[in-house]
Amino acid sequence: VHACGSERVLVRDLKEAMGFRGWVMSDWWAVHSAEAAVRGVDQEMPGTPAGKRAAYFDSSGLQAQHADLPDMAARVLSGMITSGAIHNEACRVGCNCEEPLYKTVATSSEHRMIAR
């Protein structure tokens, strides 16, 4: 079982036993099927297909797996609301995200010193 498809770890342990209220996001292209939605993954990243493969978390895949869409959406939106991201968007995907996501230098001399 892939880590992003382990219902025991993501649902039973993390969300139920530990009471985790945040959302579980996959690593990029780490989801192997739409079943990951019912096994605890709330968001498939990056959300765009790798090569010719379509995203697994599309409407037909999630409905076929009987995913708990209201819970998945509530977890993602809750994080956006509590962090303030919903009111202070940095960019809009497909419009103007290239600069903040791919060209911003996010390091400093302090970061380099810690990394050594």
Please check whether residue 47 lies inside any domain of the structure: yes
> 95 lies in a domain?
no
Which sequence positions are flagged as catalytic?
27
Does the residue 79 lie in any domain? yes
The answer to whether the beta carbons of residues 46 and 29 sit under 8 Å apart is: yes
Q: Cα Rg for the chain, rounded, in angstroms?
A: 17
In this predicted structure, what is the pLDDT of residue 50?
Answer: 59
Domain count, the chain: 1
Q: What pLDDT does 116 receive?
A: 82
For 85, residues 6+ apart whose C-beta sits below 8 A from its C-beta are: 79
Tell whether 114 is covered by a domain. no
Q: What is the pLDDT of residues 8-43, one digit of tens each?
A: 999 999 999 999 999 999 988 888 888 999 999 999
DSSP code for 53: P
Two tokens, residue 67: 């995913």
For residues 103 and 41, give the distance between their C-alpha atoms in angstroms, rounded to a whole number: 29
